Structure 1
Amino acid sequence: MLIISEDLARRLVSVEDAIGAVEQTFAAMARSYARNYPVVREIVGYRDAVFGVKTGADVNAPFLGLKAGGYWPHNLGRGLTNHQSATLLFDPETGRAAALISANYLTGVRTGAASAIATKYLSRPDAQTLGIIGTGAQSTYQLRATLAVRNIRRVFAWDTSLANLTAFGETVREFGLDYLPQVGREAVAANADVLITVTPSQQALVQKQWVRPGTHISAMGADTKGKQELDPSLVATTAIFVDEAAQSFTIGECQHAYAAGLIGEKDVRASLGSVIAGIAEGRRSADEITLFDGTGVSLQDLVVANLAVKRATEQGLGASVDF
């Protein structure tokens, strides 16, 4: 078995690499070459943790595996990140466990990649202002990935933590961008050409009346039942695109508008993969508000882990152990 550490995973897979890999696997999903299996996600009942397992396979690539991990909210006090996970890949020819990959960085980078791909295909090409609601650890991945697909000039941001806002601002300025932190969320939403929400919120943070025509929204925070970042009435007025429709209605941002009867399955225009593959159309006009409900699917995790394994194998890196 090949073991890839957290540090090595960072060296093997860049933001740009992740964007290319995730884009390919989204298209494979749309063409039915790749499939995500049902998600297991549970409250642990210990240390306030949430634990889950995501599995899937791409028979065209091919790769097969699972990512296991979750959210431990007290980790920061121990000098660890709150999100902890690992990916296990299996040999699709034999079913034997083949590689174990630390997935904290890879989870961050694949999430940023998914949002950036949505921005690439759904936002206006002239988008220059990025708005970010939530400036925790994931915000840096979101920023770097968005810059890979759009010519962003300025960034509006909001967070409950002043420390987070300040730290994020240092990263923004390193790219030579104008940084405009806000004490309220409305100004972030109202000024954004591309709006990214990436929080653990369980209540609406962005109201319908704040969002101007032509905005693209990537709602990346909702991945569990009860999580919410957008006003359901806002969701109901957007052109909705998803990574996985079944997840969007059960654990994604769409769950609340769906439960309220404001949208149904027919109101999802397409999966993002279908747009990438040319099977479905994306944005229809410059004034349309587009929404990507990014719940996070196993194939995102598996494709970047598989890329890390390929790179490590080619370069003779990683630790090999008998198993």
Structure 2
Amino acid sequence: MLDLDKPQIINLFEFDTTVHRILNAYIASAQGNVQTGDVVHLAFSDENGDCHVKSGYIKDTASYVIKIASGFYDNPAKGLPSSNGMMLAFSATTGETLAILRDEGWLTDMRTAIGGAIATRVLARADATEVLIIGAGIQARLQAICLAQLMPDRAFNFHIWARNASAAQVLKTDLNATGHNAITVSDLNVAIGQADIIMTTTNSTKPLFADGLVRKGCHVTAIGADCPGKQELPTKLVATASLRVCDMASQSLNHGEFQTACRSDASLQVTELGHILSGKQIGRTSGQDITIVDLTGIAAQDIAITQAIIDAASCSKTQ
């Protein structure tokens, strides 16, 4: 049985392989080839935290996975990371424990960022370069890094706005130090109107900006809303978007970014990302479309990234 800590996991991680596996996991999910249980959600309102337990199995893969991931959003002020957790993998043939990946939330953070990058690549305009990132935490940083790594031929300019202005400055400095072009912005409304791509990465429970600010042709990747009560985007923006895409409709409409619009309109139409990635359904049809993707995080991603680490560990043993 594998028992790996965070540094060992990071050492085994390979970006391109993981992107490929997560992309295929989205397709498998949309095609109905993933078994997944209901998400367990624990809220710790007094501590500004929450915990998710997700589980699932992708047909014809070696293992099924149970993932525990928490977010305690005041932790950075205490000198602690906001994310934590682990992945548990079991044989889909015998039920034996195959791996305990003590990733401290790193795999969840990375698979979330890769998912955002994949969705943004397939839905944003081909000439989109001006990226507004709302938020300045772990996920904001990883969204920028993964998007740039997935699309190395695109010269992205990252504009950062956060409710904590000092955190935005730290993120800007970090991204610039790692070879990215990043600036902070003070006026969120102006920045929204100038953005080709907007990525929201907060734990907000109300819209971060007013309706009517997003310009035609913009793509929005909404990451933060992953449990009941969370919301980052104006409801009218969601309701009137040219295309609404999600990772899993049942999660998105129940406790993702689209939950509020769905309560107002039970017939709200959404398309699962896997269908666009497979070519079954079309994505953006015009340079004027406003497209929104709501990523709640699905077990298929956890299975894909966990299996990638297990396979990499097996390969390293045979070398």
In structure 1, distance between residues paired with 2:47 and 2:208? 27
My pick for the range that moved more, 162-171 or 68-77, is 68-77
Match in the other structure for 1:18: 18
Alignment of 1:147-158 (within 5 A): 147-150=148-151, 151-158=154-161
In structure 2, distance between residues paired with 1:143 and 1:74? 22
Q: Is the 8 A contact 1:156 1:191 kept in 2?
A: no
Match in the other structure for 1:197: 200
One-letter identity of the residue aligned with 1:153:
F
C-alpha change, 1:203 and 1:214, in structure 2 (3 Å) is: same
Scaled by the length of structure 2, the TM-score of the pair is 0.92
One-letter identity of the residue aligned with 2:71:
Y
Alignment of 1:119-198 (within 5 A): 119-150=120-151, 151-198=154-201
Alignment of 1:25-40 (within 5 A): 25-40=25-40
The answer to whether 1:234 aligns with 2:218 is no
Q: Is the 8 A contact 2:67 2:86 kept in 1?
A: yes
In structure 2, distance between residues paired with 1:41 and 1:118? 25
C-alpha change, 1:140 and 1:44, in structure 2 (3 Å) is: closer
In structure 1, distance between residues paired with 2:164 and 2:45? 27
Match in the other structure for 1:258: 262
Q: Is the 8 A contact 1:205 1:229 kept in 2?
A: yes
Q: How far did residue 223 of structure 1 move?
A: 0.2
Q: How far did residue 19 of structure 1 move?
A: 2.0
C-alpha change, 1:172 and 1:72, in structure 2 (3 Å) is: closer
In structure 2, distance between residues paired with 1:31 and 1:180? 40
C-alpha change, 1:74 and 1:218, in structure 2 (3 Å) is: closer
C-alpha change, 1:152 and 1:222, in structure 2 (3 Å) is: farther
Describe the superposition over 1:189-213 as per-residue Cα deviations: whole angstroms up to 9, x where unpaired: 2121111000010110133311111
C-alpha change, 1:175 and 1:264, in structure 2 (3 Å) is: farther
Describe the superposition over 1:50-80 as per-residue Cα deviations: whole angstroms up to 9, x where unpaired: 2221011011223311101322344335543
Q: Number of matched residues?
A: 314
My pick for the range that moved more, 230-239 or 34-43, is 34-43
Describe the superposition over 1:84-140 as per-residue Cα deviations: whole angstroms up to 9, x where unpaired: 111100000011221111231111111111111111111111111111000111112
Scaled by the length of structure 1, the TM-score of the pair is 0.91
C-alpha change, 1:165 and 1:16, in structure 2 (3 Å) is: farther
Alignment of 1:60-99 (within 5 A): 60-76=60-76, 78-99=78-99
C-alpha change, 1:206 and 1:20, in structure 2 (3 Å) is: farther
Q: Is the 8 A contact 2:61 2:92 kept in 1?
A: no
One-letter identity of the residue aligned with 1:134:
G
My pick for the range that moved more, 75-84 or 195-204, is 75-84
One-letter identity of the residue aligned with 1:214:
G
Q: Is the 8 A contact 1:203 1:228 kept in 2?
A: yes
Match in the other structure for 2:291: 290
In structure 2, distance between residues paired with 1:313 and 1:46? 42
In structure 2, distance between residues paired with 1:136 and 1:197? 11
Report SS of the residue matched to 1:230: coil
Which runs of no fewer than 5 residues in structure 1 stay unpaired?
318-323
C-alpha change, 1:128 and 1:47, in structure 2 (3 Å) is: closer
Q: Is the 8 A contact 2:226 2:255 kept in 1?
A: yes
My pick for the range that moved more, 114-123 or 66-75, is 66-75
In structure 2, distance between residues paired with 1:14 and 1:136? 23
Q: Percent of pairs identical after alignment?
A: 27
Which runs of no fewer than 5 residues in structure 2 stay unpaired?
none
C-alpha change, 1:79 and 1:175, in structure 2 (3 Å) is: closer
Q: Is the 8 A contact 2:144 2:158 kept in 1?
A: no
* Root mean square deviation of aligned Cα: 1.9
Match in the other structure for 1:108: 109
My pick for the range that moved more, 6-15 or 70-79, is 70-79
Match in the other structure for 1:272: 273
C-alpha change, 1:200 and 1:153, in structure 2 (3 Å) is: same
C-alpha change, 1:24 and 1:249, in structure 2 (3 Å) is: same
My pick for the range that moved more, 108-117 or 149-158, is 149-158
